[in-house]
Structure 1
């Protein structure tokens, strides 16, 4: 029996056309964002049902064996921010489950830069902007977090969740930055590769665990 993780980025939010750094600002999904997540929910449901069918076939093939098959349950964890939590609610409706709020999965705080565009930051904080560009992983915006700070809160909680579910389907709805940190961890690659992993609004990543060894089956599916 395989443990499977469905790692989801929340859907689009209002005002995304201006590409502002929202970070910990609590903004809701747009109508388009809700539709993106409904599409993702259907995809996840189909993937889980397909997995269940494979388990049944395996069970029938070994029906005379002594070990009974374990039917995996589905659980869903979500960032506490509304754009991720609402995404989790939409997905959870498919499985009649409620999301478990997980504050460690909230998006990176950009501090005083939140609500600003890339150009806004460059113009209003030229010195800090230069430091950020030189050391994007370890630099913390004024009153904000660095990517390394986020990793320090995300990964320990993520490992706890994996440990507590041996053979279940685990769904996590979070954010672009959080997802990239988790994927770097699962791939065993340095965090500097975070900017090489695309995470589109509403995307689904599927990771199977074979004796705790992660295998990425689907990446950034939309």
Structure 2
């Protein structure tokens, strides 16, 4: 059983404006920089024996990971292409409400399974989960305690996969709303079937203390 420390990347102007970030590389804003300081404080307080931080090469995840690592001597950051955020295609940069209003057909067709909604020129949440399987499975075999830095909605994909549940329709674009910047998950495997919610059981979740229209 390994410990996955899931760190939500600090926010950007996109999140503050409720725009879809997707896999665009966007710098942290002032609030995001403050969130990184909060993340460091929580990890220092909890004294988790982190062995490595895994992150995508893009900001805000990469910047968050490197700023966190600076506070912990000898802690390395590994940038992994498979951990890039969900590719939301032509919807990236658009306000969430506009996407839902302009493209209702996608959400009607995905009503039974929101993980299968595919933005034009993008990928589904299930696709994003599938490309992470080999990377996180190897990490679970190699490390006892490791961190993964991810922006939304990728952070929610990871969380739901470990907990063997599916994202709700309301969370499929921008991820689950959570006040926690750092979450501790216990797991011995990372399987795409868990994200579909078809496997039994649930990974253990231990939060740290603190905090043109289409028809």
Normalising by structure 1, we get a TM-score of 0.75
The answer to whether the 8 Å contact 2:157/2:167 transfers is no
Change (3 A) 1:73 1:200: closer
Worse overlay, 8-17 or 101-110:
8-17
Aligned pair partner of 1:179 in 138, 144, 155: 155
Q: Which runs of 5+ in 1 are unaligned?
A: 52-71
Larger radius of gyration: 1
Residue of structure 1 equivalent to 2:185: 207
Q: 1:74: which partner in 2? A: 51
Which of 1 and 2 has higher RCO (CA within 8 Å, sep 6+)? 1
Query: Runs of 5+ in structure 2 lacking a partner?
Result: 191-201
Q: How does 1:16-55 map to 2 (within 5 A)?
A: 16-48=15-47
Q: Which has the higher helix share?
A: 1
| Alignment partners' CA distance in 2, 1:209 and 1:146 | 24
Residues 28 and 148 of structure 1: CA distance in aligned 2, closer, same or farther (over 3 Å): same
**Superposed, which structure 2 residues align to 1:134-173 within 5 Å?**
135-165=113-143, 167=144, 169-173=145-149
Using a 3 Å threshold, how does the CA distance of structure 1 residues 200 and 114 change in structure 2: closer, same or farther? same
Greater alpha carbon shift after TM alignment, 30-39 vs 116-125: 116-125
- Superposition deviation, residue 150 in structure 1: 0.8
> SS in structure 1 opposite 2:205?
strand
CA RMSD of superposed structures (Å): 3.0
Structure 1 stretches of at least 4 aligned residues deviating more than 6 Å after TM superposition: 210-213
- Give runs of aligned pairs for residues 9-20 of structure 1, distance below 5 A: 9-20=8-19
Shift, 1:3, TM fit: 4.1
The answer for the alignment partner of 2:206 in structure 1 is 217
With the length of structure 2 as denominator, give the TM-score of the two structures: 0.77
| 1:107/1:211 CA distance change after superposition, 3 Å | closer
Cα distance between partner residues in 2 of 1:122 and 1:209? 34
Report the secondary structure of 2:71's partner residue: helix
Asked if the contact 2:20/2:92 (under 8 Å) is kept, the reply is: yes
More moved, 189-198 vs 13-22: 189-198
